[in-house]
Structure 1
Amino acid sequence: MEIIKGAGVWAHPGEVGNDWVEQLRTSDLSLGTYCIPVGGRDTQSPHTEDEVYVVMAGRAKIMTPDRTSEVGPGAVIFVPAGEEHRFIDVTEDLALLVVFGPAFGSRTPKS
C-alpha cells in the first residue's frame, strides 16, 4: 500500500501555464495531477493509453470530436486511447486527478 500525498490537489502552475505532475507509476497504470488555471489553455495531444479524469476542484468544459460537456468537482471522465480531447472555458482553477492505464507513455512507439 502507498498513500499518495498531494494527488488531485491544486498547485499553481506558475509561468508555464499548466502543470502535470506524475505521482505514481507502475507498469499497469500511472496517476498524477493536472492543473489548469482560470482562462488557461489545454494544449495536450491524444494519448496512447486509456485515461480517467476525476475533477477535484474547479469548473470547465471538456471537448471531444463528438461532444462538449460541463464538468465540476466530482465529475469522472473516461477518455479512450487516441481520442482527441481538451479542457476549454476554464472558469475556476481546475485540479484533475488523472489515471492512465497502462502507465502514461508506455504505449508510445520508441524511436
Structure 2
Amino acid sequence: MRILEGAGAWTPLAGAANDWAEQLRTPDLSVGTYCIPAGGLDDQSPHTEDEIYVVTTGRGRIVTPDGTADVGPGSVIFVPAGEEHRFEVTEDLALLVVFGPAYGSRAQG
C-alpha cells in the first residue's frame, strides 16, 4: 500500500504555463497531477495509453472530436488511447490523471 501525497492537488510550478507531476509509476499504470491555470493553453498531444481524468479543483470544458463537455470538481473523464483532446480552462484546473499502462510506455521511438 502507498498513499500518494499531493496527488490531484493544485500545485503549478512558478512561471510555468502548465504543470505535470507524476506521483506513481508501475508497468501497468501511472498516476499524476496535471494543472492548467485559468485561460491557459492545454497543448497536449494524444497519448498512446488510455487515461482517466478526475477533476479535483477548477472548471472548464473538455474538447474532443466527438464533442465538448463542461467539467468541474468530481467530473471523471475517460479518454481512449490516441484520441485528440484538450481542456479549455475557465478556473484554475487540477486533474488527477491515471494512465493505463504507464504514461509513455507504449510510445514509439
Is the shorter-chain TM-score for this pair beyond 0.5, marking a shared fold?
A: yes
Q: Deviations over 1:28-54 (max 9, x none)?
A: 000000000011000000000000000
Give the fraction of aligned pairs with identical amino acids, expressed as a percent.
Answer: 71
RMSD over equivalenced CA pairs, Å: 0.7
3-state SS, counterpart of residue 6 of structure 2:
coil
Gaps of 5+ in 2: none
TM-score if structure 2 supplies the norm length?
0.97
Matches within 5 A, 1:49-64: 49-64=49-64
Equivalent residue, structure 2, for 1:67: 67
Q: What aligned pairs does 1:14-53 form with structure 2 within 5 A after superposition?
A: 14-53=14-53
Please, which runs of 5 or more residues in structure 1 have no aligned partner? none
Aligned residue in 2 for 1:84: 84
Structure 1 outlier segments of 4+, above 3 Å: none
8 A contact 1:13–1:36 mirrored in 2: no
